Structure 1
């Protein structure tokens, strides 16, 4: 029997992770199959390098090779490896603010969230960008650089773009999705612009792996839940998005071309709250997976 036959009778599924020192893995149950050798099939480049993630850009042609390598690949216990962000080199991280109605309501009523800023609907404020340097995998955890301020968790469905998307329609938008992951859009509360407060090192956690798009036929109907130290904070469903996934992709592509490996964070539901060093965030998204993320103090310099 193929290692890619599941119990339901043979659908080939793919959950890609990056682990250790940049190795590529396929997650199968409680194991990770090391398929790094498949990367030998990637095109070679010289400077200047393309500004896209090469695994994502070539995933369509690379996938048969990954599956072939996985048949005889060395397996590692998932519990014993260090998980990196499943996307190594996004050109940009695009994020959707206040894209759940109840989160908009809580942001407007909690002064520790709005800090005298006017919190407007997403249709008015649009999207914002996060620094790619803020991207980390779940195993590294979240560093708190400013413990004197409130640092909040925000769970979000993350969409990874598969190919160049320039002013596309919502009807075709899901054809431009390589896969999905759990995103933690960490933020410091305060009066500054969102992009500054959300772009600290480690403040975009992506993981635990990339689930290919064929596993999630309707991204607008999946549940997501976040707890801190076992206490449930956020519990919602993407059906409550103000702007759904396809419309969000189309909207983003109307302002700038989305490229392979770009990450779109679709917004967080109500229940955002503070974390401090020593906390453990557990984030789960239906059909994607679950990940534990440690919160720690930034090392002194």
Structure 2
């Protein structure tokens, strides 16, 4: 099953032909509907096992809506945090030596080691974007790069989660772009501008046996292939990332994890169209504009 948020943050189930949504908003418990506090969404992520049957029942009895008639939102709502994995593909680590030499004039060895960092939840934007390139950054002539990534949405959450049990704490998977300014600033600052975390177009639920450990990721810019990788090449796989992050901070229902940038990062410019595809999830098409 694939779930989407649309229009005024209503909940939809994607049809099998992926051309329609079925509105199942009224099938979930009435609770906090404010998209900022997002209590109902976190409750859905946490309590999916208990809520699934009634949502499936609603989806089977309601009239599908053509996707073209709705506005797809980012399929995450009010996460308490966005966690991102750094230096998680060896080929990306290798290319970053040249990228840093070109954009910073030096290489920071510590940035070549795997770790996690935080992005501002306010950086999340809808799958179609637009990604807004900040005027101040453009005026400084800094490069702004794309990083296409598998995104994990946390389900029941937890602390000190063993890697062997990590999948039980995952709600589902989506597509994300970790947009990045190449500058000497802290990672969290360079990656937290508004619109720098497009996510979508929906969530592929984990509990149907979807295995994210060996899926293809690709990104094109105006039709030219920039990134192409398989998640089997991750240094730390999804279960290990979830476990590692949970040893540092408690993972809450609805939290978001970006799993790491593949090789092939590069600058984006206003007017370009980014198409990101992840096997078994779908395709996200995002526009770029200047601020």
TM-score of the aligned structures, taking structure 1 as reference length: 0.88
Could you tell me how far apart the structure 2 residues matched to 1:100 and 1:82 are? Answer: 34
Structure 1 gap segments, 5+ residues each: 1-13
Contact persistence 2:87–2:115 (CA under 8 A): no
CA distance 1:49–1:213, change in 2 (3 Å): closer
Structure with the larger helix share: 2
Which residue of 2 is the match for residue 15 of structure 1?
2
Q: Does 1:128 align with 2:117?
A: yes
Could you tell me how far apart the structure 2 residues matched to 1:115 and 1:23 are? Answer: 47
Which residue of 2 is the match for residue 10 of structure 1?
none
Q: Does 1:93 align with 2:82?
A: yes
CA distance 1:43–1:19, change in 2 (3 Å): closer
Deviations 1:36-89 (A, max 9, x none): 2123x245699x986982331232222222111112223222234221111112
Equivalent pairs counted in the alignment come to 282
CA distance 1:231–1:45, change in 2 (3 Å): closer
Which residue of 2 is the match for residue 116 of structure 1?
106
DSSP-derived class of the 2:61 partner: coil
Return the offset for 1:126: 1.9
Return the offset for 1:284: 0.3
CA distance 1:61–1:174, change in 2 (3 Å): same
Q: Does 1:161 align with 2:147?
A: no
CA distance 1:279–1:119, change in 2 (3 Å): farther
Which residue of 2 is the match for residue 33 of structure 1?
22
Which residue of 2 is the match for residue 105 of structure 1?
94
Q: Does 1:279 align with 2:272?
A: yes
Deviations 1:160-198 (A, max 9, x none): 110122101111111111000001100111110110000
Could you tell me how far apart the structure 2 residues matched to 1:115 and 1:289 are? Answer: 38
Q: Does 1:222 align with 2:215?
A: yes
Which residue of 1 is the match for residue 227 of structure 2?
234
Q: Which runs of 4+ in 1 moved over 4 A?
A: 42-46, 48-52
Q: Does 1:176 align with 2:169?
A: yes
1:26-105 → structure 2 map (5 Å cutoff): 26-28=13-15, 29=17, 30-39=19-28, 41-43=29-31, 53-105=42-94
Q: 1:141 aligns with which of 130, 134, 142?
A: 130
Contact persistence 1:51–1:91 (CA under 8 A): no
Could you tell me how far apart the structure 1 residues matched to 2:154 and 2:128 are? Answer: 23
Deviations 1:244-299 (A, max 9, x none): 1111111001101111001111001100111111110000000111010011122x
TM-score of the aligned structures, taking structure 2 as reference length: 0.90
DSSP-derived class of the 1:227 partner: strand
Q: CA RMSD in A?
A: 2.2
- The more displaced of 168-177 and 64-73 is 64-73
Structure 2 gap segments, 5+ residues each: none
Return the offset for 1:115: 4.8
Q: Does 1:151 align with 2:144?
A: yes
Could you tell me how far apart the structure 1 residues matched to 2:221 and 2:212 are? Answer: 25
Q: 2:239 aligns with which of 231, 243, 246?
A: 246
Could you tell me how far apart the structure 1 residues matched to 2:97 and 2:209 are? Answer: 33
DSSP-derived class of the 1:181 partner: strand
